[in-house]
Amino acid sequence: MSQPDLSIFNEVTEEAQSLWALALDVWDTSFLGASVGQGLLAVLALLAGLLLRGLIAKWLIGFLRRFVRRTLTPIDDAIVDALAGPMKLIPVIVSIYVAGIVLGFGGDNSMGSRIVQSLIAISLFWALHNAVKPVANSLDALAEALTPVMIDWLTKAFQIIFIIVGAAAVLEIWSIPVGPIVAGLGLFGVAVGLGAQDLFKNLIAGVLILTERRFLPGDWVKVDGVVEGTVEKINFRSTVVRRFDKGPVYVPNSKLSDNAVTNFSRMTHRRISWAIGVEYKTTTEQLAFIRDKTLDFVLNHPEFAKPPEVTTFMRVDAFGPSSIDFKLYAFTVTTNWTEWLRIKEELAFELMKIVHEAGTSFAFPSQTVYVDDGSEVFLPPHLKAEAQKIQQPTNSGGESG
C-alpha cells in the first residue's frame, strides 16, 4: 500500500496561512492605518456623539440655568440662552477626541488634535458671537447712554470682530500664517476703497446720523426732493424709509446726512394756520363777534394747546380781493395726524356755526362788471365838429305873426 503524498497538504496549509496573514494585516491596517476593530469603535464614538448631542446639550443648558437662577442679574441668563447652539458641539468634540485616541491620531500635532482644537475654537467664538446681543440688551447703563440703533450697530460690529478673530485662530491652528493674508487684504482694501468711495461715505454718514440722533426707526421724516415717510431701519449703507403709500425707499445715508431733514415725530404740537374770508358787507360788530367766539372756542377746548406754551390768535388780517380775511393761528396738543384731522374738522364745523350766528357768510371769489349805456362814441375830429353843429339849435331870424 502506497504512502499519501504530504507535499500537496503542506502547500495548501502554507497558502492558508499566507491568506490568514493577509487577512490579519488588512484587519490591523486597513482603517486609516488602524485596525478595523478600532475603526468600528471610532465610528461608534462619532455616532454616539452626533445622536446624543441634543440630549447632552439640553442637560448642560438646564444645569447652567438652574445655577444662574440664584443670581439677580439678567446678564448671566442671557448668556446661558446664547450658549444653547455652541453647547451642541461639546459632545461632537468629545466623540472626535475619543475617536482620534482609538485610531492613534491623538498626538500634539496630529490631524485629529488639530480638528479637535479647531472645533474648540469655533465653539468658543460662536458662543462669544451669540452672547454679544443679549449682553448688550441687558445692560441698562448702555441703553441709557446710546440709542437702540447705535447698540444694534455696535452689536453687529463686535459679532463681525469675533468671526474674524475666530477664523484667524483656526488658521493659526493649521499653521497657516495670518500676516500675509492680512497684508494681502490690506492691498486689496486699498484697491477696493478707491472704487468704493460712496460706500465709505455712506457708512460715515450713517455713523453721523446715529451720533446726532437725527431720527430713529418709527420717526416720520421728510427730506425735500428725496423722500417723505416713516423710518423703518438704519443700515450701514442706507436707510429704509417707507412712504405713506407703503412703498419702501432705500435712501443712501449721505443724502440724509447732507440734506436738511424735518423730523415730524419730534413735534411738540401740530399747527393749524387758516385764512378765513367773510363777505365785505360784514359789519365791524359781526367781525368782532366771529373773532371772540372762535378764540373762545379754541382757548377752552381741551385738545388745543394754550398760551404761553404756544401762540394762539384770531385777528382780522387783510382785505382781500373778494373778502375780509381773518388769520386763525392755533396748535393742537396731539401730534397724531388722524387726531389732528379730527380736531380740524371739529373746528371747521364750529366756525360755520359762528359765522351763521353772526348773520353773515363766507366769501368766495367773485367779480362785478359795471355797464354804462351813456358812454361817448369816438369820432374823428372833423366829423365830431359837424356833429356838434347839427346838434346846435338854429335861429330863423324872424317871428311868425
What pLDDT is attached to residue 375?
Answer: 56
What pLDDT is attached to residue 40?
Answer: 74
What pLDDT is attached to residue 184?
Answer: 60
What pLDDT is attached to residue 194?
Answer: 58
pTM over 0.75: no
Average pLDDT over residues 24-34: 58
Q: Which amino acid is at 290?
A: I
What pLDDT is attached to residue 350?
Answer: 95
- What is the spatial distance between Cα 117 and Cα 61, in angstroms, rounded to a whole number? 22
Highest mean pLDDT among 140-149, 152-161, 344-353: 344-353
330 DSSP assignment: E
As to burial, measured by CB atoms within 10 angstroms (0-12 exposed, 13-18 middle, 19+ buried), residue 382 is exposed
What pLDDT is attached to residue 401?
Answer: 35
- What is the spatial distance between Cα 46 and Cα 94, in angstroms, rounded to a whole number? 9
What pLDDT is attached to residue 181?
Answer: 65
| pLDDT of 84 strictly over 90 | no
What pLDDT is attached to residue 319?
Answer: 93
pLDDT band at 51; cut points 50, 70, 90: confident
- Of the two residues 17 and 397, the one the predictor is more confident about is 17
Tell me the C-alpha to C-alpha distance, in Å, between residue 398 and each of 392, 394, 395: 18, 12, 8
Q: What is the mean pLDDT of the chain?
A: 80
Give residue for cell 362788471: 369
- What is the spatial distance between Cα 335 and Cα 270, in angstroms, rounded to a whole number? 5
**What percent of the chain shows pLDDT beyond 90?**
27
Residues of the chain with CATH 2.30.30.60: 197-265
What pLDDT is attached to residue 339?
Answer: 94
Cis peptide before 308 (omega within 30 of 0): yes
The per-residue DSSP string of 55-81 comes to HHHHHHHHHHHHHHTTSS-SHHHHHHH
Q: DSSP alpha helices (H): ranges in 31-147?
A: 36-68, 75-82, 84-87, 89-103, 111-138, 140-145
Average pLDDT over residues 37-44: 74
Residues of the chain with CATH 3.30.70.100: 270-357
What pLDDT is attached to residue 293?
Answer: 96
Query: Any idea which architecture 270-357 has in CATH?
Result: 2-Layer Sandwich (3.30)
- pLDDT tens per residue across span 306-320: 998 999 999 999 999
pLDDT band at 325; cut points 50, 70, 90: very high
| pLDDT of 150 strictly over 50 | yes
- pLDDT tens per residue across span 284-299: 999 999 999 999 999 9
Q: Which CATH fold topology does 197-265 show? A: SH3 type barrels. (2.30.30)
What pLDDT is attached to residue 87?
Answer: 82
- pLDDT tens per residue across span 160-215: 888 888 888 888 888 787 767 666 666 556 655 555 677 778 878 887 887 778 88
- pLDDT tens per residue across span 244-272: 899 999 999 888 888 889 998 888 999 99
What pLDDT is attached to residue 397?
Answer: 46
Cell of 326: 381773518
**β-strand pairing of 227-234 with 238-242:** antiparallel
- What is the spatial distance between Cα 31 and Cα 20, in angstroms, rounded to a whole number? 18
CA angle 285, 287, 290 (to 5 degrees): 110
| pLDDT of 396 strictly over 50 | no
| pLDDT of 141 strictly over 80 | no
